[in-house]
Amino acid sequence: MKLKAVVTATILAASTAFASNDSVWQALPEVAPAPADNPTTQEKIELGRMLYFDPRLSSTGTVSCFSCHNLAEGGDDHRPTSVGVHGQKGGRNAPTVWNAAFLSVQFWDGRAPTLEEQAKGPPVNPIEMGMSDLEAVVERVKRIPGYRPYFEAAFGKGDVITIDNIARAIAAYERTLITPDTPYDRYVKGDKSALTEQQIRGMNTFREVGCISCHQGPMFAGPQLPMGTGFFMKFPTVPDSPYVAKYRLTEDKGRFEVTGDPADEHMWRVPTLRNLVYTAPYMHNGAVKTLPEAVRVMASTQLGLTLTEDQVNDIVAFLEALSGPLPQQTVPQLPPTPGDLLDP
């Protein structure tokens, strides 16, 4: 009980500090930032869309970025953990790709500082896309002649089919996958009719109980930080919450699996709360099936609180206001496949 009291007092104090300034409520920008070494162009976006949808970047020719990050709805795959090549299951829930461009680091454990670096990970993950190494990815793309004109349009003439340019193109496309026109964004920008009374109550409850100490900023994923500087929090912070064992929340040690630093045990990049209605199941292991239950779990494991059902329902109503219209996507026509492309 003492630990719960300390955790709750600490987080509520942080929440009070944020609450003293209504600028805590920030709308999502309408354009995602791009790094200086990869300015966004239409040519890169077109090429990146093709590569994002192309399963030939996997060893079996069956798994693409789209396979685990379905843009028709939540930008994820709705499985507790994703399925990769040969039916293998990964260890973590697929994060949504919608608005990922605004995060300062990528993956649950923050191991990739940019979208460009993130794009290089799944193709060579033995469970996800299964290519032997990054050079094999490059050689696979080079063996599809129809890709060359698109690479030259995006990056110029010469030896431009490289892993860095593959990643740059995918990242450029992903920076178009944003949802800035939610009811919440319209409300923050001055349209006070954009939220219902219940959503406004939930917004206030969200701040009052301390959710905003971690889920702040325009992404509700922490403060805006320079690219590569992740905002991490320990999860769970209340180890004797009954939800910890129920949902196996400590089996995965989070960022520790990357750094090996004991201080990073159970540290996680704070996930965005945008479009949550589209991204069930929840948590890093996909163990929590519904949004109301996720609110209860977080209140208990992070704040040491047991919320009333009215509080839960109000917060859920507010979280629903963080979902916006998904920009219409066009499935690209991919270059033809040579008949021997997937030969051993």
Q: What is the CATH number of domain 2-30+180-320?
A: 1.10.760.10
pTM above 0.95? no
* Residue 22 pLDDT grade (very low, low, confident, very high; cuts 50, 70, 90): low
Percent of the chain, pLDDT > 70? 93
pLDDT of residue 227: 87
Q: Which residues of 88-109 are buried (b: 16+ CB within 10 A; e: fewer)?
A: eebebbbbbbbbbbbbbbbbbb
In this prediction, residue 164 carries a pLDDT of 98
The pLDDT tens digits of the residues spanning 226-267 come to 888 999 999 999 999 999 999 999 999 999 999 999 999 999
Give residue-wise pLDDT tens across range 77-97: 999 999 999 999 999 999 999
- How many degrees, rounded to 5, is the angle at CA 302 between CA 297 and CA 308? 50
30 assigned to active site: no
Candidates 1.10.10.10, 1.10.3720.10, 1.10.760.10, 3.20.20.370; CATH matching 42-174:
1.10.760.10
- CA-based radius of gyration for the chain: 21
pLDDT tens digits for range 147-192: 999 999 999 999 999 999 999 999 999 999 999 999 999 999 999 9
Residue 138 has pLDDT above 90, yes or no: yes
Domain with CATH 1.10.760.10 in the chain: 2-30+180-320, 42-174
Catalytic residue among 128, 174, 293, 320: 128
